[in-house]
Amino acid sequence: MKNFRILISVLIISLIIPTISFADDFPPELTNMKKNLETSLKSSPLSQCKQRITPLFDIDTLEFFKFLETTFQNKSADTTLLNTAIAKYMTYKRRLNLVFGMMTLNANVVGNFQSDEYVNYVRCREITDAYIDLSKQKLMDYVRSNSVQKKTTMLVEKYKAIDNRLQDLNVELAQMYGFFATFKNKSPGFLNKCVVN
């Protein structure tokens, strides 16, 4: 039931965030809120992880989605856009894992998998992974819809068609070799030397 609530909240965020559009810069209010949330996260207990970490991840995810939107709307789309987006995703993922790393598990709880603190820690890890998966999916959606990806897909399909033709040619050559081998084996006496070379 708890995982279902996490999934629903992430789904709601994924539906709301794409409709939000910003001007050229990220709103300073959100940047300030992000700093405050990060500061409060360091001193908060694991029982408040969900309440503290979710708004922080919302802001980070919003920044990442805004980056994707502005990057893939660039008219001069080429493969560097894809490389830039993947690099940004890796930075985003490291950031979320770093924020999750701020939540420390008490050393006495490490072996006790039934404690509330350990359960909260695992729940925070699940939230982190849900945000990372959501952002990865969003990146993949942008990549699929990008014209560069469409051109690459067309090239791959052409290469597959060429590969299929080469496979057919390979089968025909194998059949021809089989015919020559059969002819060699069935020919009488002195003709064997002529057919081999």
Per residue of the chain (197 residues), give pLDDT as tens: 555 555 455 444 444 444 444 445 667 888 788 888 887 777 777 777 788 888 889 999 999 999 988 887 776 556 777 888 889 999 999 999 998 888 766 555 555 556 777 788 888 889 999 999 999 999 888 877 776 556 776 778 888 888 888 888 888 888 888 887 777 777 665 555 565 55
Burial classification of residue 157, based on how many CB atoms lie within 10 Å of its CB (0-12 exposed, 13-18 middle, 19 or more buried): exposed
